Amino acid sequence: MDWKPAALPDTLQQARRARRISQLELALRLGVSQRHVSFVETGRARPSRELLTRWLGELEAPLALRNTALLQAGFAPPYRATRWDDPDLAAARGALQQLLMAHEPMPALILDAQWNLLQLNRGGQWLAATLMPPEVLESANGGPANLVDMLIHPMGLTRPLVNLREAGPAFLAQLRAEATWQPELASRAEAFEALLRQRLEGPVPPGADAGRPPPLLTLRFASPWGELAFFRMFTTFGTPQDITLASLKVEHLFAADAATRAVLQAQVPPPAPPAGG
Q: What is the CATH number of the domain that holds 209?
A: 3.30.450
Same domain? For 92 and 220 the reply is yes
Measured CA to CA, the distance from residue 261 to residue 255 in angstroms comes to 5
Inside any domain, residue 77? no
Inside any domain, residue 1? no
**Domain range enclosing 16:** 8-72
Inside any domain, residue 45? yes
Per-residue pLDDT of the chain (277 residues; tens, 9 = 90+): 334 445 999 999 989 998 889 999 999 999 999 999 999 999 999 999 999 999 999 999 989 899 999 999 999 999 998 988 899 999 999 999 999 999 999 999 999 989 999 999 999 999 999 999 988 887 656 678 999 999 999 999 999 999 999 899 989 988 988 888 788 889 999 999 999 999 988 888 765 444 455 567 899 999 999 999 999 999 988 888 899 999 899 999 999 999 999 999 999 988 776 555 5
CATH of the domain at 52: 1.10.260.40
One-letter amino acid at 154 equals P
Length of the chain: 277
- DSSP single-letter state for residue 138: S
Inside any domain, residue 241? yes
Same domain? For 239 and 102 the reply is yes
Same domain? For 64 and 162 the reply is no
Same domain? For 94 and 194 the reply is yes
Inside any domain, residue 127? yes
**Sequence-separated (6 or more) residues with CB below 8 Å from residue 44:** none
Inside any domain, residue 14? yes
Alpha helices, H only, the chain = 8-18, 23-30, 34-41, 49-58, 63-72, 90-102, 122-131, 147-152, 164-179, 186-200, 243-247, 258-267
How many domains in the chain?
2
Inside any domain, residue 81? no
pTM: predicted TM-score of the whole model, two decimal places = 0.81
**In a 3-state reduction of DSSP, which class is residue 273?**
coil
- DSSP single-letter state for residue 40: H
Same domain? For 234 and 209 the reply is yes
Burial (CB count within 10 angstroms: exposed 0-12, middle 13-18, buried 19+), residue 37: buried
Strand order across the beta sheet in which 249-255 lies: 117-120, 108-111, 249-255, 228-235, 219-221
Same domain? For 39 and 139 the reply is no
Inside any domain, residue 277? no
